[in-house]
Structure formats: structure tokens, C-alpha cells
A and B are shown apart, each in its own frame.
Chain A
Amino acid sequence: MTEQTLAGLIRRLIIDESMRAHVGHIGSALSIADILAALYGGVLRSASSHDPERDRLVLSKGHAALALYAALAASSRLDRALLSTYCGEGSQLGAHPEHVLPGVDFSTGSLGQGLSIGAGSALAARMQGSDRQVYVLMSDAECNEGSVWEAAMFAAHHRLGNLVAIIDVNGQQAFGYTRDVLEPTPLAERWAAFGWNVSEVDGHDVEGLQQSLVAADARDPRPRLLAARTTFGKGVSFMENEIAWHYWPLDALQYERACAELAAADRALVPAR
């Protein structure tokens, strides 16, 4: 059996399940595979999915639910058999995540709502004297939504230093490139102007991400924003930066090619024993 990185396994599960279910949103899911590998590979602290003191994660870009399910499965938090019900009749694992599934903290799917939920969750932690952290994973196009900036103002004003927002800056949205639809830059400067502690990071460098995610400076009370540069469809060459893969599902030939590329990438990354 080929040894896999956590991110590699997440990607493979994304490809397998989207193929089996014949469902799209693959590019959006692949672009956050490394961010989720960083979070589930040691950053998120939880004794169980029902532990009130667990760190919270809000997948505000809910359309990448498959990546979340894959990360839960790859880190042994979700049964593989259950993962294989993805988008099946009667399954709890829909194309957008619902909190009824253990491991999913909040239901999402309507863009622009997650940061507010995260701000409330972070405020609750502070009021309860808890050191739990709240992570909100958003998309860059999601910042088109005005409500994101309501939450951004609130979190900065109330100095929610236990709140970390990660933006998946893949530069793409449903109809085209973000720069053509609604210019998102200068993204880091905008968030900094709203009072956030902003870092620009490589969204595919798992170790680097982990260092950035846990590198809270207790003396800095600002909420943190990680602007994670990513490649839409990362890991599957014919999907990378291709708008069409926002919605398209895979055919058999594409599936074979995707699997081969992911296996080759993992062989290159993981030293043979």
C-alpha cells in the first residue's frame, strides 16, 4: 500500500467520492485540502465531536463540504463507509455540510454567514473563560458578501483574539476569475484596515500553515486573518485554475488521470521506507 500524506489522502477521497457520487465542486474542495490537512493534522484540539471545549471550525465556504468530510475521514473522525454515502439518497453528507453529522460544528452553504457564527462562538469562548479557538474557513469570493464585513468589524472592535479566519484565495468564483467579477484586492490591506492581524501564507504548505495557525501572540488581541494563496483544483493538473471545475463532475478517463497524478505526487512527497 502506498503511504500517503494526510493532504494526499484527503485529495484522493475527494476524487473518489465526487466520482462515485457524480457531483461537482471538485476544484473548490481540492484548493482547501492542504488547509484542512493542517487543521486536522494537529491544530484543532478536540476530545470528541461533542466536547464543549473543543476548538470550533466553521466551513463558511460550505460548497467545499466534500473536502471537510474527506478530512474528517482521513483523520479517523468519520467512518469511511459513512463517507461513501456522500450525496446518496437519505445521507447526512450532502453537498453542503450539516451539523447533525458528528464532526461538523455548524451547517453552512449560504456564503457570508460563517464569520458571524465564528465571531459569536469566539465571543462565547471568551465569556466562558475558555481558551478554545475558533477557525473560520472562507472563500475569497465570499468576501463579496457585505455581511462578512459586518462580522469583520465586530471581531476587530471586540478584539476577538481567539478567532482565526482563513481565506482560500484561489482567485476563482462560479462565473470567472474574482478579479473580473468583483476586484478583491488589495485583500490583505482591506482586512488590516478593518483591524485584523493579517498574514499572507502559502495555502498548500501544510507545515507552514500549521505554524501560522498556532502562532497566536497572546499580547496581540486582534483577530487573525490568514490569506492563504491557493490553486483552484490543486493536485489535478487539468483542473488547476480551470473555471469549469467549479461545477463539473468527473468522467472515467478523467478519474483515472486524477488518481494517477495524486499517486505520483504522494510518491514524490513521502520518502520510501
Chain B
Amino acid sequence: MRSAFAAGLVEVAAADERIILLTADLGYTVLEPFAERFPDRFMNVGVAEQNMVGMATGLAEAGYTPYVYSIATFASMRGYEFIRNGPVLHQLPVRVVGVGGGLDYGHNGLTHYAVEDVALMRTQPDLTIVAPADPDQVRTAVPVLQQLNGPVYLRLGKESASVPGLMGRFRLGGVEAIGDGRDVVFVTLGGAAAQAVEAATLLSERGVEASVAVVSSLNPSPSDDLAVLLGETELAISVEAHYVAGGVGSFAAETIAERRLACRLVRAGLRETPVGETGSRDHLYARHGLMPEQLAAAALQQFELAGR
């Protein structure tokens, strides 16, 4: 996703001179295509995320569209108050780009896991969140950001393959459905979409009709789209590499409650602080119940409870 982002940004920047890219000393071997093509519009500001966001505010007020880049934890949290009092308060087109959302940084530990960034950003009603599920969606989404005059948080995965069936579809404020099964609908955000799609495949082998609702943007709310899908099922399972509070599981719960949908919700995600246990992303996914087999089992368990 990182390389797709860099390539996409080079393309839009070629047509829009307002775009500049700032990094807080991260993105080595990723951002070079932009830096080489637009050396005057690229700047490594040093390991100083707060200053980077503050500066982006000053640059945006003067007419620029600054992209500020770091690992998702640092991009979203270190300068959070600067984001709130800068681009959000002033409604300026700063794009905060966080790479490695979720557990993508594997053995690097909690300091590198962005598992509450969506929750934090979601509370800002005028901050658009874009969290693509795969590189193809990144390619579709980056040009769409150009239409937005306000601030954006772009949450990228580190490395990820294409999500089968998604085919790069992305609509701001929309939900992209994969499959049309309604025995269970997985509601997912970001790179975890791949887990959900695989879980749906496993279930279909057991005769269960499942589909996946990929939420790739929040603010504007994709609640209308999600309500249509959840209105046609009795079981929703949210899937996210994020704490269950405040992320896409919470978003699904809000949609179900506010629309009075007759749909049971099970939330898969982190329920405890991931500390003291390192490993690959898949190891961590298994630890927190996010592997396809676990997600499929969660669905089957609900059917058993329901006596089906």
C-alpha cells in the first residue's frame, strides 16, 4: 500500500502544484519516487511530528496541500492536538498519512501498533478518514482526496496483497460489498478486509452464505450503505486490527442501534493491550481472534447459539 500511495501521489502531484510531501524521517525506500520527481516539494522535517503538523497548517493556510507522512501511531497520536487545533480547527487541506495501521508492524511491538487511531480520528466530525483495504483501493482513493478541501487522515497498511473481489472499488462515504450472502455479513476496515474475505470463503464451504462489507472511509459517514447491508442479515461480525472500542465495530453498533436494525453484532478485534508478546502480523491476528478460521468459527458459534 505504501508504494501504491507514493506512485498515486506522484501522479496527482504532477497535475497539482499545491501538493507537497513532508515526512518525519520515515518512508525510506518508499517516498523516493516523489522526492526524486519533485525535490522542491519534498521535505524531511526530522523526527518531529508535532512540528510537522503545525507547519503543514501554516503551509495549507498559504494555499498548499501538504501530505504529512509517518508510521500511523506517530502520525495520528504524537501530534493529535496539533491536528485538532490546526487542520481541523482551521478546516485546511492537510493530509495526515499514517502507514502500518493495525498490527502491520508485527514484532515491533505496541509502540508501533496503531490500534486506536481510527477511534481518535473518528471523533473529529470534520476530519475525513480514508482507510483503504488494499493497494488497488489506494490507487482509486488518492485522486479522490484531491476533491476534499478539509483535512484527511489516510490510514495505510504496510504490505498487503489485493483483496479478492474488491477490484479497487472506492467511494467516499460508501461501503463496498464483496459477495451477496446474507447469513452473515462481515463488516471490516483496512487491511483486515482480507481476513474477512477468507473467512467468508471458508463459510461458503460449510454451506453458509457470507459477504463482506468493506468500510474504507468515515466522515462522511457510510452509514446509509451499511444499513442496507445489515438490514438484510441477522448476524454481523466486525473485523478490525484495532481495539473494539471506537473503530468499525463501534460504527456498526451505532448504525444498528440508530436504525433499529434486527441484527446481532459480534465484534472481533483487540480487547486487551497487546503487550509482552511479539510475533508476525499473523501471529498477532491469531492472538486476537482475527484469523479467517477464527472468524468463521465465531459465525458458526452464533448459528449454534441461535439453534440453526
Chain A residues with a Cβ under 8 A of chain B: 52, 98-99, 105-110, 113-125, 127-128, 134, 147, 150-151, 153-154, 157
Asked if B82 contacts A113 (CB within 8 A), the reply is yes
Asked if B50 contacts A150 (CB within 8 A), the reply is yes
Given known A52-B62, A106-B90, A110-B85, contact A120–B57 (CB-CB < 8 A): yes
Asked if B58 contacts A150 (CB within 8 A), the reply is no
Contacts across chains A and B counted by CB atoms under 8 Å: 94
Contact of B54 among A52, A107, A134, A147 (CB under 8 A): A147
Contact of A151 among B51, B59, B62 (CB under 8 A): B51
Report A-chain residues with C-beta under 8 Å of the C-beta of B46.
Answer: 150, 153-154, 157
Report A-chain residues with C-beta under 8 Å of the C-beta of B40.
Answer: 127
Asked if A128 contacts B82 (CB within 8 A), the reply is no
Chain B: minimal CB distance from A109 (Å):
7
The secondary structure that dominates the A interface is helix
Closest A residue to B81 by CB, please name it: A110
Asked if A119 contacts B51 (CB within 8 A), the reply is yes
**Is B86 interfacial (CB 8 A cutoff)?**
yes
Asked if B55 contacts A113 (CB within 8 A), the reply is no
Which of A98, A120, A127, A147 has most B Cβ within 10 Å?
A: A120
Complex CA gap A157/B47 in Å reads 14
Asked if A154 contacts B89 (CB within 8 A), the reply is no
Query: Which residues from 73 to 111 on chain B have a C-beta closer than 8 Å to any C-beta of chain A?
Result: 81-82, 85-86, 89-90
Report B-chain residues with C-beta under 8 Å of the C-beta of A127.
Answer: 40, 64
Closest B residue to A163 by CB, please name it: B58
Chain B: minimal CB distance from A150 (Å):
4
Report A-chain residues with C-beta under 8 Å of the C-beta of B60.
Answer: 120
Complex CA gap A113/B86 in Å reads 9
Chain B: minimal CB distance from A47 (Å):
16
Chain B: minimal CB distance from A153 (Å):
7
Report A-chain residues with C-beta under 8 Å of the C-beta of B56.
Answer: 120
